[in-house]
Structure formats: C-alpha cells, structure tokens
Structure 1
Amino acid sequence: MDTASTTPVTYIPTASGKNVIVEGPLTEATLGTSIVPAYAYTDEEAFAHEQQTIFRSGWSWAGYAHWIPNVGDVRPVTIAGSPLLLVRSTEDEIKVFHNSCRHRGMVLTEEPIEVTQRIQCAYHCWSYNLDGSLAAAPYFTRERRGNPSPEAKERLHLLPVAAATWAGMIFVNLSDDPRPFLESAGPLVERWSYIDFDRLHLGAEREFDLAVNWKLCVENFLDFYHLPFVHPQVGPVAASLDVDDVVIEPSLIVGGSYPRGAVGKAKKSEDQLPYLGDVPDDKKESQDIFCLFPNALVFLEADWFQVIALDPRSATHTVEHMAVFVDKDADDPRFAESISSLVEVLFHVNEQDIPFLYKLQAGRRSVGSDHTSLVEHWDQITAMFQTIVASRAGYGTGSEAARVDD
C-alpha cells in the first residue's frame, strides 16, 4: 500500500556548489553491494511477486485519457495481471472496472470498442451501462421479460476500481484499502500547480516494445550520469551535468531538476511553443524529471510535457507508452514544424537508450550484477528507487545468493 514517508530529506552541495545531491543510501561502504538482486530482473517468480507487492499495492499508471476521448469509448488494459476496462462514462468522467462479466466472469472485450450506451457480454448478452450498472440480463428468470429485480441489479454492478485522472494519465489502485490519489501524488501536483494540465494537447505518441525488465527502464530514466556520453546532442557537458537531485516523497516520487536545462541544453525546436499555463519566470528555464512510482516517468518543461509509461508484461518484456504533450494553443499550423522537431528529438533520445537497456538486461544474468557499485555522487536517486522496490518486494540488500537463469 502507498504510504508517505516520515524520513526527512537532506541535501548536500556538490563540490562546485552549483547543485545538490540527496543524502541517500549510498556511501563508499556500499560499493559492490546491489540493492536489488540480479534475479529480480530475469526471474518470472520475482516478476509475479512484484506484480502483487508493487503494482497491486498502490497507485499505478494504467493508460492515457486520450485513449478514450469520446463518451462510450472503452479500452481494455491489464494491471498486475488483472484485466480492467477504462471507460469514458461522461464527457468529464473516466471510470475503471474489472473486465469481468458478473455472470460467468468472461472478459467483456479484448479490443478497444466504442459503444453508444451499453457494454455487452457476448456470452449471454448481459449488458452494462457506462456507469457500470447492469442494464439487462435476457431471460434472467427464463421468461422473455424476466429481468433481475432492482435489488439483484444493484448487486450485479460491474466491480469498480479506484481510479484517478491527472495530467492526461489514468491511474488505478487495486489494493484493498486505497488511499486517495492526491495523498500519494499530492506533493508533485502541488509542485506543478502552475501548469494547467487541462490544456494538454497530444503532440505525438509512440510505443516501444522492449525485451527488458521494467525496473531498468526506470533506472535509466533516473540516470543523469549517462547523458553526456549517450546523448551528446543535448548540449555541452556542463549543461548535462547541471542537475539537482530532488526527492518529493522518498517512498513514491524521486527524480531531479535541471535548473537551467531549458536554456543550457540544445534547443529542441526553433520556435517557442505556448507555455502550459501561467508559468512563473523562475520555472521557464527549468526541467523536472521524476518517477511517479512505480511506472510513470514524467518530464516537464514550461512548454511541453513528456510521459514514458511502463507496461510490464514479463520479467524480460516491457512496453513503453511514450507521449509528448503541448499546450492546446500549439494545435495550430504555425507550430506544426516546431512540434515535429520536438517529438523527433525526444523519440530519438529514447531510441538511443535502447541498446544500453538491452546490454543492461544481458548483464543481469551475470553474478557480477549482484555486486554492482552505484556511486554516491551520481546514483542516490537510482538507489532510492531501488530501495523502494526492495522494500515493497522484500528483497535483501546483497546477502542473497545470485539466481542466474539458464
């Protein structure tokens, strides 16, 4: 279950004094000791365990609001092994239900559909309104008009799932006693309160089907150290290294901020896009990068917003759903070239990471991966993410024997 941490966060200035790093779990004494064991990146039993202890225990990204733009749009997804339905029930509301007919438990659809009023099960033609209530169950009493009683209908509602929509994303919570979404994500919502996420317009979206463990995707996203070596086109080394560790909530939201990133790095488009709301002057130059645990990787600049959302399919299979958003005023022909340039750069950066993700995945089959050495000056944020994983999943901190799959 998502729980807020009471541990105070301490920051330490870098040697230059320009930036700060968090005082995290790494010291010289931790060199050669892995926080998450290597088998957790390759073993299917470990993956199944994480699905229950991580993805079923709190809020997780489940989809994008733009996947179901119109009333009656229905999209099936799977979270923590559970088939779910994302439903646009009204113009302003998205509901999520378990994708299971209340009669025999058959999934109602395996493909995105658009319905006018009802979602129907093909097996016995039970149908449900968009609010999940049972609309009809033909021949329920063996009579042509033998519908269930009002009391029975009330008990045969599609089973709802705790859901929230924020920043164009749909989140679900499958735990038995879900805490409100804002109690989990509230500190990040407050940090970005100057952004008007109701103005988001989809610039572009791509899917990356990767033969890697989901945790490596997060760790790479939070690895600021690799930017000047893997992504030299982002600008001079000094700009790439000008980054502060930022811990918003130690057990849920970790990442970093480039205080001058929007001006210090190379430009992604020639023309200034409209800002995403009433952006204060001190935020017009910065870039924020966070993992909203466990599977939403978010990147915010004043005039664009990027999400890489992770859909773990197995221990060695993850689908990344990457979307780039701009302000709705940028939906204008005069900004088309700038948006095209922006998304081309962002997608290319993600593509550059893929060969390294595959090599990181291959390395997890070596016993050496139980003795990796995250360094305190660069990897505290990655270590904090791994610590959250280890705490949720119950992994040890290096004392476990390596389990290398054949």
Structure 2
Amino acid sequence: MDLINKITNNSSAIDFEKLSNVDRPIEAANGLPNQCYTDDNYLKYEREKIFCDKWTVIGVGSSLPKSGDARPYNLLGIPLLIVRDREHQIRVFHNVCSHRGFKLVDKPCGLKNVIRCPYHSWAYDFSGRLIATPHVGGLNVHESEKFDKAKSNLKEVRSTVWMDMIFVNINSNEIDFEEYIQPLEQRWSKFINKEDQKLINYSNDFGYFNLEVNSNWKFAIENYCESYHLPTIHPELNKVSNINDHYHIQGLPNRFAGQGSKKYQTLTKEDKRFDTFKNWNKEQLQHSEYIALFPNVMIGLHIDHFYIFWLEPLATNKTREHMNMYYIGNESANGDELKELRKQNSKFWKDVMLEDISAIEGMQEGRGSPVYNGGNFSPVMDAPTHQFHKWVASNLSK
C-alpha cells in the first residue's frame, strides 16, 4: 500500500481505497482507477509487480527456428535477449555485457558461434558463459590472474516455453510454471492433451501480423475477456456467433479468464479443410475458447487451429499486439493445398482485431475524464473482465 501511495499523477497519489473498490462483489465494484491507465509513474510500478513478478510472454519459439538465432526484446526498458542454444533450447538473458554494460544485440540475427559484445569484443557462448576477453590483461594478453571470467557470465532469466509461447519470470519469484499453467491445462484437457500440444505448427506464410494501438495494454485484455461488445463492435461475427452462443470462463486460481463459443464451424474452402485435434471432446465439436492468460497473452483454441495474441507494452498509452497462427500438422500449417484457406483465416482474425482497436482506443481517451470513477460492471456480462481487474489490483497491493 505504501508503494502504491507513492505513485503520483500531477502530485496526486493514487487513492488506495479506490483500488480496493475493485475487489468488491461485482454489482458494487468499480474498475481500476484512471491513473492505472494514464500515469507513467504507475507503469514503472506495474512493470515490477506485474511484468517482472509474474510469468510474462515475450515472444514465440517459432521466431527463432535455428540454433544461434537471437532476438532482442525490450520489456518496458529492461533489455532482454532470446537465444536458441546448441541443444535447440530457448534461453533468455539480460541483454547487457558484463564488462561495461553495452547492449549486446540490437536486432534479430543469426549468431554463428558466440554472442559478441560490439564494444570491447568480449564473447559469450549460447549458455551465457564468458569465454573470451580480448586484451583484458593488456595488448594481446587475453587472460588475467586478477580477473575471474566465471564471475562475469551473462545473467540468465528464468524462462520456459509452452505451446510455443516464451514465458519469463524476471524476478524469479513466481511458482513453477508447471504449477502455474496446470489449471488451464486441466481445463483444456477435454480438447487437447500434452501429445496434441506437440502437433501445432506455426504457419510460415500467413502466420503473423502485428498492430500498434494507442491504448494501455490492459484494455486489450479487458476487451478480449467479454462477448458483451459483439453486437456493436463485431456485427458480422455476431450474426454467426452472438452473445447467447457464448459462455464465461473464470479460471481458478485467478490466473486466466475469458469466453467460449458454442457455434464455431471448422474452416472450409472448396471442400478443403484443416486437420483437427485428435482428442477433442466429441460432444463439444463446435466449441472454441478465447482465454486471456494474465498478464499479457490472449489465446484462441479451435478444433482446427490455434492462435496466440500477445501484448508488448510500449508506453502508458501505446501497445504493440502480436498475432501468431498455428495449425495441426505441417501440411495444414504450410502445405500449398491449404494456402488460400490460411490466407482467408488470417484475414478474418486481423479484421476482427482491427475492429477492436476503436473500442480499446476509445476507452483510453475516456480515461482523461476527471469524473470517471473506474466504471461499473454488468453482473451478468462482465464477470471475466472484473476478474482481470481484481487480479491486477491484488498483485499491485502485495
């Protein structure tokens, strides 16, 4: 509470009582205060309590297909480096040389043998071990008794990969990822099991797009959690899958929330279809689920495809949204016969996400109102969104 009260907006501290109003029963609750969407000082605090304390998505493994592939990532000012090592495992390091703090990699690339600092040419292997220190003991003297290389390895970040998503826990203080993800895996066991998870393949042709939106990252999650906006924001989608066809998802423990549909139809084009998950519950063939796994990834699970829609917070009022598309088996994901169907599916989801931009940017603009109290929730329609607000508030106050 003391830390929260130190966050200021024009010298006016966030009222902790307003934040606690979020945790009331939904019919009496307010949403997060305006400062949670508009205050740069608040975002710094949120970086620590939300993005560094929790399991946070920073990319996908498919973007680094070969050993030596490397990608930098900036997590609200924290420079990180994602590398696929010699054993083909994803590893994440702080993207900073142990010598003088120079940023090691500034753009995606393929590394041949080492991670080499551009400043003084110190070099690290793909496990982060410092292996070369040119001239450290003087000209052409590359070793020194006064310098222990083993104490200057790269600082590795706790990380794991699940369903191609790269998760990091910067502060190394969250529960084991297997325990963290278990409630969602248990929920989805009626659709896919661990063997099915291995079947998903990234689409190399129509498998990615990104969008930059002028809004706080939280608005994308809030919007994704509910189907209440379908008639107004997605009128065409609402014609085939309207509010009455949707159901709420509230995962316990409080790590995910969202919605499901009972009206999903497998994709077809000229009698061509994608392969489907083999262990899908035969009584729920038309079900699809859209879950926000807190804090920053939204997942769409369908019997014939899977997507990851993850958020890169850029500033208090700016977010980059990354969409990655997957199919079951490589033929569905990359075969020529289904290329047009993949193109059609990618366009469909991009159009849906573009329609949402007006909603989340409109909410961002509205948070400039000094009389807005965080808003209210529909007891019937907004339960998953309220759950996300509670998750944020509870983690800020720990």
TM-score (ref. length: structure 1)? 0.84
CA apart distance, 1:235: 4.5
Structure 1 range deviating more: 208-217 or 362-371: 362-371
Assess if the C-alpha contact under 8 Å between 1:218 and 1:291 holds in 2: yes
- Name the structure 2 match of 1:102: 98
CA 222–151 in structure 1, closer or farther in 2 if over 3 Å, else same:
same
Distance 1:356 1:274, change over 3 A: same
Give the direction of change, closer, same or farther, for the CA distance of 1:392–1:326 in structure 2 (3 Å limit). same
Q: SS in structure 2 opposite 1:111? A: coil
| C-alpha spacing 1:103/1:247, structure 2 compared with 1 (3 Å) | same
Matched, 1:282 2:278: no
Q: Is the 8 A contact 1:26 1:374 kept in 2?
A: no
- Alpha-carbon distance, 1:340 to partner: 1.2
In the alignment, what sits opposite 2:177? 181
Quote the residue 2:32 is aligned against. Answer: 36
SS at match of 1:262: coil
Structure 2: segments with no counterpart, 5+ residues: 1-22
Judge conservation of contact 1:283–1:302 (CA < 8 Å) in 2. no
Q: 1:266-324, CA deviations, whole angstroms, 9 ceiling, x for partnerless residues?
A: x6543431114433323432111111110011110011111110011111011001112
Counterpart position of 1:386: 389
Match of 1:78 among 71, 74, 96: 74
SS at match of 1:370: coil
Equivalence for 2:296: 295
Highest relative contact order (Cα 8 Å, sep 6+), 1 or 2? 1
Counterpart pick for 2:228 among 217, 225, 230: 225
CA–CA distance in structure 2, aligned partners of residues 116 and 365 of structure 1: 50
Give the letter aligned to residue 198 of structure 2: D
Equivalent-residue separation in structure 2 for 1:277 and 1:171 (angstroms):
27
Q: Which amino acid aligns with 1:364?
A: R
What does residue 242 of structure 1 align with? 245
Pair 1:118–1:238, CA change in 2 (3 A): closer
Counterpart position of 1:401: none
Aligned pair partner of 1:358 in 361, 376, 390 = 361
CA positional deviation for 1:106 = 1.0
* SS class of match (1:172): strand
Q: Give 1:2-401 correspondences, 5 Å limit.
A: 26-28=25-27, 30=28, 33-90=29-86, 92-142=88-138, 144-147=140-143, 152-193=148-189, 194-195=192-193, 196-203=196-203, 204-236=207-239, 239-258=242-261, 260-263=262-265, 269-270=268-269, 271-327=272-328, 328-330=330-332, 331-394=334-397
CA contact (8 A) 1:72 1:87 kept: yes
Deviations 1:57-82 (A, max 9, x none): 11100111111111101100022431
Q: Secondary structure of 2:107's match?
A: coil
Aligned partner of 1:296: which letter?
V
Structure 1 pair 238–146 and aligned structure 2 pair: CA distance change class (3 A): closer
Mapped to 2, the partners of 1:86 and 1:283 lie a distance apart of 38
- Please tell me the residue identity of whatever aligns with 1:192: W
Count of aligned positions: 365
Cα distance change of structure 1 residues 236 and 290 upon mapping to structure 2, 3 Å threshold: same
- Taking the aligned partners of 2:374 and 2:122, their CA distance within structure 1 comes to 55
Q: CA deviation at 1:368?
A: 4.1
Task: Work out whether residues 252 and 292 of structure 1, in 8 Å CA contact, stay in contact via their aligned partners in 2.
Answer: yes
SS of equivalent residue, structure 1 residue 241? helix
Q: After alignment, is 37-46 or 236-245 more displaced?
A: 236-245
Q: CA deviation at 1:96?
A: 0.4
Note closer, same or farther for the CA distance 1:338–1:291 as it changes in structure 2 (3 Å cut).
same
> Against the structure 1 CA distance between its residues 275 and 143, is the aligned structure 2 distance closer, same or farther, given a 3 Å change threshold?
same
Distance 2:24 2:35 in 1: 21
CA shift, 1:109, in A, is 1.3
Give the Cα separation in 2 of the matches to 1:103 and 1:134.
Answer: 10
**Structure 1: stretches of 5+ with no match in the other structure:** 1-23, 396-406
Percent identity, aligned pairs only, is: 28
Which is further off, 229-238 or 83-92? Answer: 229-238
Distance 1:173 1:238, change over 3 A: closer
Q: State whether residues 64 and 169 of structure 1, in contact with CA within 8 Å, keep that contact through their aligned partners in structure 2.
A: yes
Amino acid across the alignment from 2:136? F
In structure 2, give the amino acid aligned to 1:219.
E
Q: Tell whether the 8 Å contact from 1:290 to 1:298 is kept in structure 2 after alignment.
A: yes
